[in-house]
Amino acid sequence: MTTHHEPAPVRIELLSTADGHGIGRITLDHPATLNALTPAIVAAISGALHGWAADPAVVAVLMDSSSEKAFSAGANLQAMYRAIRTDDASARDAATLAFFAPEYRLDHDIHHYPKPVIAWMHGIVMGGGVGLACGASHRVVTATTKFAMPEIAIGLFPDVGGSWFLQRMPARLGRYLALTGARLGPGDTIALGMADLPIPHERKTDVVAALVAAPWGADAAGRRACVDTILQGAADWSTLPAAEFMAHLPGIAAIANTTSPEAFLAAITDAAGRDPWFEPHRHALVHGSPASAALSWALQDRLHGASLAEVLRLELAAAMGCAADGDFAEGIRALIVDKDKSPKWRWSTLAEAAANVETLLQPRWTGEHPLADL
C-alpha cells in the first residue's frame, strides 16, 4: 500500500512494509528542470523528514528522482535570478535569505537524521542536489552519475556545506573541484568519499521491493544494518567505470596544494600545456568568476576544522554577499538567461577578488543569525 501526501514537483510517499512499518520515499519529480530545487520543494522535503523522524513506525527514507537524466542539477537559477535582480537591497536580501537558509537547514537535518537515509544518485548530482545527497547515511551511485560543484561558472561558490565536505577530501582535492567545477563519474565520487557503493539503476525496483519486504524490528542499529545488507546485496562493483579523475591524482594534487589562487592558476595552466585532460578545468577557472574562486579558497582555509553548522552559517553570509555585491546574478544571466556565456565579472583578477572577500562575508540580516540554532 502506498499513501500519497504531496503532488509534483516532488512526490512524498509512505511505503507500507510487510511487517507493518513504513519507508518514507521522496521522489524529485520535475524532469524538465533536471529537478531544480525551489523553496517549495525544500519545504515539502523538510516537512516530510520532520514528520517521519518523529514517527516510530517509519524505519528509513529513500530519496530518488523520476528523471533518467538527473537526481538534481541544483537550485532553480531562473527563479533565483528573478528574485535578486532588483535595486531594492532589502528585498534582494530578504529573497536571498528565504531561498538559501531553509535549504541549508534541510541539508544540516539530513546529515544528522536519526534514521537511515538512502540517496539514489542517478544521473546529474550538482550544487543543491549534492547538498541533499551527501548527508545521507547510504549514498548510491549508478553508471550515469555525474557529480560536480560548478558554481564558479555562475558567480557563486560550492555552498550547501561544500566548504565542509570538500575540505575533508584528501590532498586538497576539494579545492581543485571548487576552483574548476570538475565533474566526477561514479567511481571518482566513491573514491573521494561522496558516495558509498554502485548499484545498477535497473535494480532500483528490486531494492525498493526488498526494503518493503524486510523484517525491520525495533532496534535502530539493526535497521541500519538491514539497509546495509539490502544495498550491498544489490551492488555490482564490476560495472563501476574507471575513476578517471583519480587517475590524474599526482597532477591534480600538485595544483591543489599551491599556496594561492594565482599560483593555482599558474600551475593548472602549466599542466594543461602538457596534458590536454586539464584544459577544460583551466578554461573553467579562467572564464569563471574570480570572486567565486577567491571566496571558495578563503572559505576552505577559514573553515578548516569547523563544524557543519559553523560552515553553513558562514556560507549563508557568503551566498547573500554573492547576490548583493558579487557576481551571482551576472553569472546566471550569462549562462542561463541570455546564454551569451560572456559574463562581466565585478573583479577582473583573482588578486583583486581576494582583496574583496571580506565584502562578501558581511552579515546582511538583523538580529540573531538565521541558522543560530543548528
* pLDDT score at 8: 61
CA 8 to chain centre: 21
* pLDDT score at 345: 98
Q: Write the CATH number of the domain with boundaries 2-360.
A: 3.90.226.10
Which among 40, 59, 61, 57 is positioned nearest to 49, based on CA atoms? 61
Instruction: Give residue-wise pLDDT tens across range 268-305.
Output: 999 999 999 999 999 999 999 999 999 999 999 999 99
Query: pTM to 2 decimals?
Result: 0.96
Residue-by-residue pLDDT tens, the chain, 374 positions: 444 444 569 999 999 999 999 999 999 999 999 999 999 999 999 999 999 999 999 999 999 999 999 999 999 999 999 999 988 999 999 999 999 999 999 999 999 999 999 999 999 999 999 999 999 999 999 999 999 999 999 999 999 999 999 999 999 999 999 999 999 999 999 999 999 999 999 999 999 999 999 999 889 999 999 999 999 999 999 989 889 999 999 999 999 999 999 999 999 999 999 999 999 999 999 999 999 999 999 999 999 999 999 999 999 999 999 999 889 999 999 999 999 999 999 999 999 999 999 999 999 999 999 999 99
* pLDDT score at 326: 84
Q: Where are the domains of the chain?
A: 2-360
Q: What percent of the chain has pLDDT over 90?
A: 95
Please give the angle made by the CA atoms of 102, 107 and 111, to the nearest 5 degrees: 145
* pLDDT score at 218: 85
Joined together, the cell numbers standing for residue 116 give 537511515
Residue 164 near residue 198 (C-beta atoms within 8 A): no
The burial class, CB within 10 Å (0-12 / 13-18 / 19+), for 55 is middle
User: Strands 58-65 and 117-121, how do they pair?
Assistant: parallel
Joined together, the cell numbers standing for residue 127 give 550544487
* pLDDT score at 217: 86
